[in-house]
Amino acid sequence: MTRPTRRPPASHANAAHRMQTAPGTWIHITTHPARYSAQNTAARIRTAQYEAYAPAGAYEARIQPTETETAVYARYIGAAAQNGSTE
């Protein structure tokens, strides 16, 4: 069995900035070999456990299975979305 290729870590600050300049657009964040890792990353984005995605609720995140891995996508919906406001 071959060892998986090590990927560089995702640049969450860069990704958050890109999403803020294009609100509502889904952007690829990272890809994980294990589905549970992708689910964990998506949850951390939604709850702002990564500082770049603060405040919690300002970003949506989802996972998308590929043939061999699971990709994480996110989009900026705005801080106002977390409390039901429409800006």
Kindly report, residue by residue over 16-64, the tens digit of the pLDDT.
999 999 999 999 999 999 999 999 999 999 999 999 999 999 999 999 9
Residue 36's pLDDT is 97
Taking the C-alpha atoms of residue 61 and residue 16, their distance in angstroms, rounded to an integer, is 12
**Can you say whether the dihedral through the CA atoms of 52, 56, 59, 64 is positive or negative?**
positive
**Residue 86: pLDDT band by 50, 70, 90 thresholds?**
very low
**Residue 9: pLDDT band by 50, 70, 90 thresholds?**
confident
* More confident of the two residues 72 and 6: 72
Contacts 24+ apart (CB under 8 A), 78-85: 78/23, 79/55, 81/57, 82/55, 82/56, 82/57, 82/58, 83/57
* More confident of the two residues 59 and 6: 59
Using alpha carbons, select from 66, 82, 75 the residue that is nearest to residue 16: 75
